[in-house]
Structure 1
Amino acid sequence: MNEDIPEDTSRNEVGASTPYRTLWAAATTALVVSGALVATAYGVAPAGGGSGATAGAAFGNAELASAATVPVGEQVSPSPSGASSPAPAPSPSSTVSGMAVAPEAVDLEAALAPVAAAAGGGLSVALREVESGAGASYGEEAFDTASIAKVNILAALLVQAQDAGRELTDLEKSQATVMIEKSDNASALALWKTIGRAGGLEAANQRLGVTGTEGGPGDLWGLTQTTADGQLELLEAVFGTTEASPLTEESRTYLQDLMEHVSADQAWGVSSAASDPAETALKNGWLPRTATGLWDINSIGRIESNGHTYLVAALSDGNKTKEAGIETVEAAAKAAVAALSEAAD
């Protein structure tokens, strides 16, 4: 269901902020943490998608359907999104384990320039090649998560359950399954409440080593703000590439398995950069903005490409259509993986 809702225009448009681009690469298991400022999401969201979701519930993204019951999908967002071109980049610098080093051969600025120019909106990408530890990032601005927040919600729930020394309940497991595999919004809202909304998410993220991420206000989990680097940190915790992850092997395997079985109609995004789609673990998010009619399109996951494993996060906003946004994140993922692969050769 769509409806006009009041908006707080005091929030700067994401695309209208002054972005700066950084890139780094290092053969190490340490991930660079960017110091991105996190914008706060304001306003009240209308009812969005979700299998069995009824009007009046607030969700993360929006794929609209019949009036009473809205199918699996995403939420309509209340806040505007800009579509400005990226600002000129400063001289690149890199950091490894807190130590400044000279930039290496991974030039995401050049690799993604054509994609960013064609997109016309905001774009940020972060990735890491698991075997070598080499990684790179482009862009540090914050974006609405939309439904990629569902991975973070489940990771937070698993951390909390581990701390309590309990297993997930049958209901929680059922909600987690449809939340990740079918992007069910009603289940996401239920688990968002279970973890303690934004406060619970942010407390878990301190444990998970996820930075640059601020939970959405109230029940608006889809308006959680995040950066590409923050999402890459989440992927590292989920896929066990860092010893700092508080998730047990059992918890990681559980979440990975759900991400490996997303619905076929949602198998787009960073998976386009995979040479072996069968080994892809994925979660996407799509979010139309009510004020502008523009779309946020995000994709995170693990892919296999030419014998190497990559963790990739691609975030975008200011897309004219959902399809255009999908093309942007897919082109960005392909270009980023190719650039990192070429630098490693």
Structure 2
Amino acid sequence: MQARREPLVDIADENVTYSVAVRDTATGRTTAHQHGPDPAHPSASVVKLGILAALLLRAQDTGRELTAQERVSAAEMIERSDNDAATALWHVIGGAPGQDAAHRRLGLRESAATPDWGLSRTTATDQLILLDAVFNDGATLLSGPSRAFVADLMTRVVADQAWGVSAAGSSPALKNGWMPLSATGLWVINSVGRVTASGRDILVAVLSGGHPTKKAGVALVEAAARAAVSAADGVR
């Protein structure tokens, strides 16, 4: 993996930090960019993708299908980012210990769940690992039907939540997260997913924090996603 620290986008606000990682699914080439001292960020609602992966692994382990209610909750959690649905499934997977167990099984080594799921921490490179578990047709712990279920939900995100990595390409499948931190009032804005650019499928994860407003954070995330995908296109 190529890791770079030069800024992808101009940052005027010293409070703003971000981490970006992209992977070309055809070549496996991965590049990462970081602005700020710590690659880990609060997950906000992108953790909901991890919750769904943990739920599906638990169902696979016992050889069962998701219940009708679990499927409804999963759809509400991913498509509309419904917090009550996420909390219900959080309890099903065993809370933070269950989420961390799924992290380890899937190979996420830099992510840590917390009892308040929105404050769980993760890195852009770990999010690429999770995205790869969903969108890689090769060897992955998630079964074909499980991967198809997740990917389909990620293409159905409601229109007013379809910002973020979608700015970097077409045919997006994504999950976003956003929240102001109570301690500072500054916003965490995250976006992870798959887009098609230059005829290739690209996995993209952008995590950021320190934004004065949600709008400012979305603009930064979209600019970083476009720049990262463009830079990756130049080194294929």
Does TM, normalized by the shorter one, top 0.5? yes
CA shift for structure 1 position 116: 4.1
Return closer, same or farther for 1:253/1:122 CA change in 2, 3 Å cut-off.
same
Please point out which of 155, 176, 189 is paired with 1:297.
189
Matched residues in 2 for 1:115 and 1:340: separation?
18
Q: Distance in 2 between matches of 1:341 and 1:298?
A: 22
Question: Which residue of structure 1 lines up, in the alignment, with residue 56 of structure 2?
Answer: 158
Summarize the alignment of residues 21-60 of structure 1 with structure 2, pairs less than 5 Å apart. Answer: 24-25=1-2
Give 1:122's match in structure 2, choosing from 7, 10, 17: 17
Which residue does 2:72 correspond to in 1? 174
SS in 1 for 2:5: helix
Instruction: Give the Cα separation in 2 of the matches to 1:257 and 1:284.
Output: 15
Root-mean-square deviation over aligned CA pairs: 1.5
Find the counterpart in structure 1 of residue 86 from structure 2: 188
Q: Is the 8 A contact 1:111 1:336 kept in 2?
A: no
CA distance in 2, matches of 1:170, 1:230: 30
CA distance in 2, matches of 1:301, 1:315: 12
How many pairs does the alignment contain? 233
Answer 1 or 2: which has greater strand percent: 2
Partner of 1:310: 202
Counterpart mapping for 1:258-297 below 5 A: 258-274=153-169, 276=170, 279-297=171-189
For 2:138 and 2:103, locate their aligned partners in 1 and report how far apart those are by CA, in whole Å: 14
Match of residue 44 from structure 2: 146
Asked if 1:222 corresponds to 2:118, the answer is yes
Structure 1 counterpart of 2:132, one-letter code: E
In structure 1, what is the Cα distance between the partners aligned to 2:138 and 2:123? Answer: 19
Residue 119 of structure 1 deviates from its aligned partner by: 7.1
Equivalent residues of 2:110, 2:126 under 8 A apart: yes
Q: CA deviation at 1:221?
A: 0.8
Deviation of residue 117 (structure 1)?
A: 4.7
The answer on whether the counterparts of 2:110 and 2:122 sit within 8 Å (CA) in structure 1 is: yes
Change in CA separation of 1:118 and 1:130 when aligned onto 2, cut-off 3 Å? farther
Q: Check whether the contact 1:116–1:123 (CA below 8 A) recurs between aligned residues.
A: no
What is the one-letter code of the residue matched to 1:185?
A: N
Residue pair 1:146, 1:285 contacting (<8 A) in 2 also: yes
**Contact 1:158–1:247 (8 Å) recurs in 2:** yes
**SS of the residue aligned with 1:331?**
helix
Amino acid aligned to 2:223: A
- Whether the 8 Å contact between 2:42 and 2:120 is mirrored in structure 1 is yes
Please state whether the residue corresponding to 1:282 is helix, strand or coil: strand
CA contact (8 A) 2:56 2:142 kept: yes
Q: Distance in 1 between matches of 2:99 and 2:56?
A: 11
Give me the whole-angstrom Cα distance separating, in 1, the residues matched to 2:91 and 2:218.
30
The residue type paired with residue 39 of structure 2 is E
* Match among 201, 219, 224 for residue 327 of structure 1: 219
Return the letter of the residue paired with 2:50: N
Note if contact 1:124-1:316 (Cα within 8 Å) is conserved in structure 2.
yes
Give the distance between the partners of 1:192 and 1:317, measured in 2 at CA.
Answer: 24
1:297 Cα deviation from its structure 2 partner: 0.2
- Distance verdict in 2 for CA 1:221–1:297, change over 3 Å: same
- Quote the residue 2:5 is aligned against: 109
1:109 Cα deviation after fit? 3.5
Q: Is the 8 A contact 1:115 1:332 kept in 2?
A: no
CA distance in 2, matches of 1:201, 1:159: 11
Contact 2:188 2:209 in 1 (8 A): yes
> Which amino acid is the alignment partner of residue 122 of structure 2?
T
Aligned residue in 2 for 1:256 = 151
Gaps of 5+ in 2: none
SS of match in other structure, 2:191:
strand
Preserved CA contact (<8 Å) 2:7 2:33: no
Three-state SS of the structure 1 residue aligned to 2:221 is: helix
Question: Which has more helix, going by share of residues?
Answer: 2
Question: Which residue of the partner structure matches residue 237 of structure 1?
Answer: 133
Offset of 1:147 from its aligned partner?
Answer: 0.3
SS at match of 1:115: coil
